[in-house]
């Protein structure tokens, strides 16, 4: 197996990082919508899910920014 092919397994390319960020951004929007629509009893859990989605999106954005730098 070539070194380039092997490296791509461990270091995703910009396209894969863009996809990861885009999916994470959609997940944030879905979690936000779920939080807004949540019943009072589950509002706290829905907010926690929203915050977790934001953290994942931020992480994906940082990885993409580093790859593009």
Which is more confident, 8 or 27? 27
Q: What stretch of H or E contains 42?
A: none
* Distance set, CA 53 to CA 1, 44, 67, 68 (Å): 36, 14, 21, 22
pLDDT in tens, 9-63: 567 899 999 999 999 999 999 999 999 999 999 999 999 999 999 999 999 999 9
Q: How confident is the model at residue 6 (pLDDT cuts 50, 70, 90)?
A: low
What distance in Å separates the CA atoms of residue 54 and residue 27, rounded to the nearest whole number? 8
Residue for token digits 């490296």? Answer: 7
In the chain, where the domains are located: 13-68
Q: How confident is the model at residue 1 (pLDDT cuts 50, 70, 90)?
A: very low
Q: pTM score, two decimals?
A: 0.80
Which backbone phi and psi does 50 adopt, to 5 degrees?
-65, -45
Three-state DSSP state, 1 = coil
DSSP state of 33: H
Q: What is the pLDDT of residue 22?
A: 97
């Amino acid at each position: 197996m070539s070194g380039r092919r092997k490296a791509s397994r461990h270091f995703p390319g910009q396209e894969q990082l863009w996809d990861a960020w885009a999916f994470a951004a959609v997940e944030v929007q879905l979690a936000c919508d779920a939080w807004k629509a949540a019943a009072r009893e589950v509002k706290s859990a829905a907010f926690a899910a929203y915050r977790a989605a934001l953290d994942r999106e931020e992480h994906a954005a940082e990885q993409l920014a580093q790859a593009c730098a």
